[in-house]
Amino acid sequence: MPPFPLTARLSALVLALWFLPACNAVNPLCGSARPVPVLNSISPPTLTFSQLPSSFTLTANGGNFVSSSVVLFNGDTLATSVNSHSVLTVTVTSSMIPAAGSYSVQVHTPAGTTADVGCSSGGDSVVRVLIVN
C-alpha cells in the first residue's frame, strides 16, 4: 500500500497548483493567461505646451507587453504599436493636451481566456505622468 492514498496525493497536487503564481511559465495549467504589464518609464517625460507639436510619438518602456497590450492616455485607449515585450509606442495629438498640466499614462493588458482556477490574467501597470509645462 502506498504511503498516501491516491486521493490524498491528487488533493495535494491540486492544492499545490492552486497556490502557484499565476504565470504560464510556472503554472502550465493557466493556458492563455497574460502577464500584468510593467511600465518603468515614458519618453518624453515632459513637454513644453507652447512648443507642442501637432502630434508626437510617446514611448512606453517596461516589460510583459503582449500583442493585446494598449496604452491608456488620460484614461483613453490609444492605437498601440507593440514593438517588443518591453517597448510600446503610440501617437499623441495636440488635441489630447488642451492645456499645461499632468497627463496619466498606463499600460493595460486585457485578460486572456483562462477559466482555470487559481490563474489570473492581464491587468494594469502603474501610472506614469507626462508633465506639460
**Topology given in CATH for the domain delimited by 6-132:** Immunoglobulin-like (2.60.40)
pLDDT in tens, 90-108: 999 999 999 999 999 999 9
pLDDT by residue, tens only, the chain of 133 residues: 556 566 666 555 554 544 444 444 445 666 667 899 999 999 999 999 999 999 999 999 999 999 999 999 999 999 999 999 999 999 999 999 999 999 999 999 998 765 555 577 889 999 999 999 9
Cβ burial 29-65 (10 Å sphere, 16+ → b, else e):
ebeebbbbbebeebeeeebeeeeeeeeeebebebbbb
